[in-house]
Amino acid sequence: MIMFVMSEMMFFGALISAFLIVKSGNIMWPPPGQPRLPIGLTAVNTLFLVGSGVLVYLSNKSLSRGDKVGAKKLLRYAIICALIFLGIQGYEWVSMLQHGLSMTSSTYGSFFFMIIGCHGLHVLGALLFLISVYRKFSTEAFRPESYWGGQVFWYFVVGVWPVLYVLVYLS
Amino acid sequence: MSFWEKYVFSTDHKVIGLQYMFTGLFMAAIGGFFVYVFRMQLAFPGISVPGYGEVTPLAYNSLVTNHGTIMIFWFAMPVLIAAFGNILIPLMIGCDDMVFPRINRLSFQIFLLSAIILIASFFVPNGGFGGAWTSYPPLSANAEYNATPLGAPMWLIAVALEFVAFLLGGINFITTLMNARAPGMTMYRIPIVLWMIVIASILFMCSVGPLIAGAVMLLFDQTLGTSFYNPAGGGDPLLWQHLFWFFGHPEVYVVLLPAMGIVAEIMATMARKKLFGYKTILYSVIATGILSFVVWAHHQFIAGIDPRMANLFTVTTLLISVPIAELCFVYIATLYGGSITFNTPMLWALSFMVEFLIGGITGIFLGASGVDIFFHDTYFVVAHFHYTFVPIAIIGFYAGITYWFPKIFGKMLSDRLGKIHFWGTIIPFNFIFIPLFLLGAAGQHRRIWDFSNYSDLATPEFFNLRVIATVSLIVMISFQFVFLFNFIKSLRSKEKAPKNPWDANTLEWTADSPPPHGNWPELPEKVYRGPYEFSHPDRESDFWPQDEPGPDPDDPDYKSGYSPDSDIESSSTKA
């Protein structure tokens, strides 16, 4: 899993560096005539995602203490937080499209949808993994190793988000 | 077990390795047919090529593009890393299978899907993608430039899927080598070929992310009309070149290292000598791997990058020849003073060194940014990278398959037919590419459909060299049927191969030939020493299997019963 996260890091590293190269090649950024991204709403959203990362961490801590019920409860809250994050993201995308920012309207829009979309897909994938772990939690099929694998990937997805927020939204 | 369970949906690492190998060889046959077609067109422009027909410019582009793509991504990688990695890793470290056997099967299935998509792309309207295997935008991004509106996205999807397959395989290789070794198989007792395959997998996993990101952006440019690489829409075409070569250069070492490892195993065994400088090799390879990430822009010297940056990349490029040269010297030192058996695997291994050296040395010319301005995109470059890739993919594969054939298939290959095949491949190979060096130095450019349209390139001297290259190619391809014949003949012969035909030390030779599912009835209990203890003076037999109980001569406490003086003393007392 760590090897996989490493190649994922390179993947996002490439997207970010591509974004920075193109950004530095344009004098006006964001390009004129393009809508601005919702900084405030996304800041709240960031809190939800980071919060869910913290909850997963706490859930793991109570699991290692042997408190399986508490761990499951915390994981449930983490999943709810992540669902809220994805919901707000979806709402944001729809409103951005209504304001005229799309894949083809400018490289600004292309990069926004590309980077944030890739991240969103990763959140979705990691979330499905966590949900499957959650469903197995109190059964015998539960394996702490697979929960740990899901956590590593979740921490990666959560950890890369603030970087993207600063680079894509705040610049 | 039914046939389907045993050979198609198997989770046995050896069967998956063979699936990779045969798919790779099938793709290599396609790539070989393509090169035959377009070399005929270059030597005899406008003729109707036997077995294909007339070559249009569009078809020419598609053939050249897909020849390169297939040979690197669908032949060199599956055969050298996936096939040999799958077959050798569990056998050589003494475990029953890969750590994730089902991920392994999934990896092959995705790979097969990618191969099918690539082959399907040759049959869509306008044919397969024709924008060169490097796929530079805007040529690759706009259908009106590359004229293959369907072939281009299909090519890109096939390449991306293939990388997903190798990503899964790579995770498996690394995890297996790290976690499933037999007791006593310490880091420095792992056979060097496994280190090479695993380091290659790590390189691949670190470099492939940027290319997948780039490929997604290129796919969006092609299909959705975004402008990541289009300057008119605020994008940057150089971006693709950076992303592609950031992957593309480590990729060279990804395929080189397994071939180097195979050669090292064969050389130590056939020279009956301990591999010289095990740790030197390991550290050189790691250094090569790290350096390979900082040389990519030497492919872009004339693409409009800053000349100061070009200088920097010249330095790093020339630096990487230091560890590679070190590997060559270490291999020569292994051979020095050995009692060498010149059988087929050893001939392949030795020819690998010789031919790869030519490729490496011409690389130094191209790595220097000043010289590269002249040589860029000429046949000199083509000859250079074929002198690296043919030894890697073709010679490396033949070396490996002739060496491990008894283990994989349980039969012996004919050595005499093997030698005929060897000389019939090596001599024409040099006759193909030495003329191309001359042509390239004289200024012949790549990716031109018909040279008779260029008066300075259409002289009889030029055409004579092209004809030599093409005729040699046909000779080389026809000698591959000798191998095919040898292969089928050995498989059908009744004579079984012994467990350890080469008197080698590594663990795979202690299993049955071919090993059953699970490899050993009981896994090797303990590994006592390194894999290359040949001709040890303390022993009667000239090899010392890794699993034979006894001391480890590399142990600092090991007391050798032999000293050079004792011979002289005993002879003097007799006198």
What would the pLDDT profile of A92-130 be if each residue is shown by its tens digit? 889 888 888 887 778 888 888 889 999 999 999 999 999
Please, what are the domains in chain B? 3-567 (1.20.210.10)
Tell me whether residue A27 is in a domain.
Answer: no
Higher pLDDT, B401 or B524: B401
Cα separation of B26 and B437, whole Å?
29
Residue B423 has pLDDT above 80, yes or no: yes
Cα separation of B400 and B414, whole Å?
15
Residue B475 CA neighbour count, 13 Å, CB half: 18
Note the ipTM here.
0.87
Tell me whether residue A96 is in a domain.
Answer: yes
Report which of B203, B191, B189 is spatially closest to residue B247, judged by C-alpha positions: B203
Question: What was the pLDDT predicted at B572?
Answer: 47
Report the DSSP beta bridge partners of residue B48. Answer: B54
Contact B434, B384 (CB under 8 A): no
Least CB–CB distance from B214: residue in A14, A104, A106: A14
Tell me whether residue A14 is in a domain.
Answer: no
Tell me whether residue A24 is in a domain.
Answer: no
Q: DSSP secondary-structure letter at B54?
A: E
If you average pLDDT over each of B133-147, B416-430, B488-502, which comes out highest?
B416-430
Q: pLDDT band for B565, please (50, 70, 90 cuts).
A: low
Average pLDDT, chain B: 92
Mean pLDDT of A12-39: 82
Tell me whether residue A91 is in a domain.
Answer: yes
Residue B204 has pLDDT above 50, yes or no: yes
Report which of A3, A9, A33 is spatially closest to residue A109, judged by C-alpha positions: A33
Instruction: Tell me which amino acid residue A128 is.
Output: L
Tell me whether residue A26 is in a domain.
Answer: no
Contact B348, B425 (CB under 8 A): no
Both tokens of B414, joined, read 């004919």
Residue B319 has pLDDT above 90, yes or no: yes
Which residues lie below 8 Å from residue B295, measured CB to CB, with a gap of 6+? B249, B313, B316, B317, B320, B367
CATH code of residue A165: 1.20.120.80
Least CB–CB distance from B209: residue in A7, A21, A107: A7
Both tokens of B408, joined, read 């994989």
Q: pLDDT band for A157, please (50, 70, 90 cuts).
A: very high
Residue B574 has pLDDT above 50, yes or no: no
Both tokens of B49, joined, read 């090529």
Tell me whether residue A134 is in a domain.
Answer: yes
Which residues lie below 8 Å from residue B549, measured CB to CB, with a gap of 6+? B526, B528
Tell me whether residue A31 is in a domain.
Answer: no
> Using one digit for the tens of pLDDT, what is the confidence trace for B545-563?
999 898 888 888 888 776 5
Residue B314 has pLDDT above 90, yes or no: yes
| Whether B205 and A107 lie within 8 Å, measured CB to CB | no
Residues 6-25 (A) with a CB less than 8 A from some CB of B: 6-15, 18, 21-22, 25
Cα separation of B272 and B539, whole Å?
13
Mean pLDDT of B431-458: 93
Taking contacts as CB-CB distances below 8 angstroms, the residues of chain B near A18 are 213-214, 217, 228, 239, 243
Taking an 8 Å Cβ-Cβ cutoff, which residues of chain B contact chain A?
167, 170-171, 174-175, 202, 205-214, 216-217, 220, 224-228, 233-236, 239, 242-243, 246
Question: What was the pLDDT predicted at A23?
Answer: 82
Question: What was the pLDDT predicted at B83?
Answer: 96
Q: Residue A124 belongs to what domain range?
A: 38-169
Helix (H, G, I), strand (E, B) or coil at B378: strand
Q: What angle do CA B412, B415, B420 make, to 5 degrees?
A: 135
Report the domain count for chain A: 1
Cα separation of B316 and B419, whole Å?
39
Cα separation of A96 and A37, whole Å?
8
Longest dimension (CA), chain A: 59
Higher pLDDT, B453 or B346: B346
> Using one digit for the tens of pLDDT, what is the confidence trace for B235-259?
888 999 999 999 999 999 999 999 9
Report which of A162, A98, A157 is spatially closest to residue A129, judged by C-alpha positions: A157
User: How many angstroms separate the CA of residue B249 from the nearest CA in chain A?
Assistant: 15
Q: pLDDT band for B564, please (50, 70, 90 cuts).
A: low
Task: Establish whether the linkage from the previous residue to B537 is cis, with ω within 30° of 0.
Answer: no
